[in-house]
A and B are shown apart, each in its own frame.
Chain A
Amino acid sequence: MFHVNHIFCGYNNQDIIKDISFDLEPGCNLSIIGPNGCGKSTLLKALAHIIPYKGSIRIDNTEIKKMNRKTLARNIALMTQINSIYFPYTVYETVSLGRYCHMDSVLPRLSPLDKDIIYDSMEKVGLLSIRNAKINQLSGGQLQRVFLAKIFAQDPKVILLDEPTNHLDLRYQIELLEYINEWKKQKKRATITVLHDLNLVQEYADKVILLSNGKMHSYGSTKDILINDALEEVYRIDIKKWMTKVLIKWEA
């Protein structure tokens, strides 16, 4: 369904991402991992065509470069890291913006169906009770759920998530990934997630891309990629040894 072939991209005519290729089928959770500065977020932006790329990215056999933004948005959505809220929209208003790409261009209004989808999306992440709250008064965990509901309302075939669990405590991290998992299963959609916490990758990813300096170090099923040698080579730390050490402390 989603095919990425030999893509290069970056900023100011300098390629940060070099020669990445992979395929994604519906229902798959792909995680992109790698050390800081290896180009994870840049790759994600190229996959949503936020930044230009060389090579080919196709969804259902159409090159995404050739789609207009609205069509692209119905296929791929990127959940960026939003750092500050400038205007106090309500939860409902924010989530309803996800329906923009489905609205008529001549008379852009929310149809009853759109409204059903918005309410359904808010319900999925437990926001119905605070739908009229202003988003600048929410906690970090609630805010992430608002943006997730917005993506659900957008209802694309592939969701790209850039460190969605950032700044969340463990319970909210798991909760968020569970919401995504459930939605993906129910709708038969695919997700690509940049994650830092390898434990979460171990638990939620079906496939993993390990990036190193903008290049693909390895790509395959989670079981095959999260092996100690590969991780040690890229991250320069014996992750398994460290985690086992911590685990012993927990068990003591």
Chain B
Amino acid sequence: MLFTPIYMNKTKVLLIISATIIIMLSAVLIGTVNITAKDIIDIILHKLFDFPLKQGLKPNTVSIIWTLRLPRVFLAFLVGAALSASGTVIQSILKNPLASPYTLGVSSGASLSAGLIIVFGISIPFLGNLTLPLIGFISGLITVFTVIAFSRKVDEGLSSNTIILVGMVFSLFVNAALTILTALYRENIESIVLWQMGSFSLRGWNYVKAASIFFVIGIAGVMKYTNEMDLLSFGEDEAKSNGVETEKVKKKLLIFSSILTGSSVALSGTIGFVDLIAPHVARKFFGSKHIYVLPISAVFGGALMIFSDIIARTIVSPSELPVGAVTALIGAPFFAYIYFKKSR
């Protein structure tokens, strides 16, 4: 076909979506309590539409599925998808396939504020469970704009390399502040460290609800600018000359990707590598156009996160590993493999 983009292969899309659903289902199935797929569907139908439960299903099982495993799977998917979408955006803005939202200090900023919230037990009235993601997003955003403002001071042209370097310096600085906070409030050391390592355990439906609100806003925001991201990945001057209001578009993209990253970090801790790998894989199989890369990378990142979480909670069962450690363990070699394989 002359006018069909060669990468938009329906089979590939179907494959990735069905793989994601299978991973989601197995994540709910796998665990110390054995249960069948049909039971899970029964439980979901019962909870959502008040369908009668099958005889013999223990209330305990129902509760494990409904209050523990299901929200955990959904949260893992949302966080993985949000981080990956945000990673895709940052890579195109910085014209660097190795950049990630962490490069810009979003997660360090969000980490520090989450640390402050844990230490001082801050809770804003009316916000309840939304306090953590909202503050996470805001402080992530503040860090990004500080990084950008500082970069502009030292380099008027705002080159990607300057932004990346300044972002790294700021991240280290903010991380040091978090370390000091941890050292000063030793009684909270465990909860801060555990939170930092990243985990989806014991996060209920409230977390899923909070994550989905930020996810929908963030994804809708970045999906509006897929054409502009294509143009920006050729460089700023080029994009301007093609008709992109680069300043405005970049600012909006940074805000929306901060919404995605900041809220994810605040809800589940710092989980690395998924945001780096997912866009890479999406680009490898679906080309470079962001209208395809962005959603595919989100779906793949979500699936990868669920998969990592399955490993995190089963490999040393009944104890659990921090999922951030698992993503790094799988991610680092996997990333090296796809990156160097490409350049050969």
Contacts and interface: CB of A to CB of B under 8 A. Distances in A.
Interface of A: 11-12, 45, 48-50, 68-70, 72-74, 76-78, 80, 82, 86-90, 92-94, 97-98, 100-101, 103, 108, 115, 119, 132, 154
A5 B246 CA distance: 26
Nearest to B233: A87
Contacts of A108: 227
Interface residues of B, number: 29
A93 B288 contact: yes
B235 A90 contact: no
Q: What is the predominant secondary structure among interface residues of chain A facing chain B? A: mixed
B156 interface: yes
A76 B233 CA distance: 21
18 contacts: A12-B156, A48-B240, A69-B243, A76-B241, A80-B235, A80-B238, A80-B241, A86-B97, A86-B234, A87-B92, A88-B287, A90-B6, A92-B5, A93-B230, A97-B231, A97-B242, A100-B244, A154-B242
A69 B3 contact: no
Nearest first, the 5 A-B pairs at minimum CB distance are A73-B243, A101-B243, A78-B241, A70-B243, A87-B288
A213 to B, nearest CB: 22
Contacts of A45: 237
Interface string B79-96: 000000000000010011
Interface of B: 2-3, 5-7, 92, 95-97, 156, 227, 230-231, 233-235, 237-238, 240-246, 283, 287-289
B197 to A, nearest CB: 32
Contacts of B231: 97, 100
Contact of B245 (A50, A69, A76): A69
B289 A93 contact: yes
Contacts of B238: 80, 82
A86 B95 contact: yes
Contact of A74 (B237, B243, B283, B288): B243
Given A87-B233, A90-B6, A101 B96 contact: no
Contacts of B240: 48-50, 69
Contacts of B244: 69, 100
Nearest to B241: A78
Contacts of B246: 69
A121 to B, nearest CB: 14
Nearest to B342: A88
Residue in A12, A45, A87 with the greatest tally of chain B CB atoms within 10 Å: A87
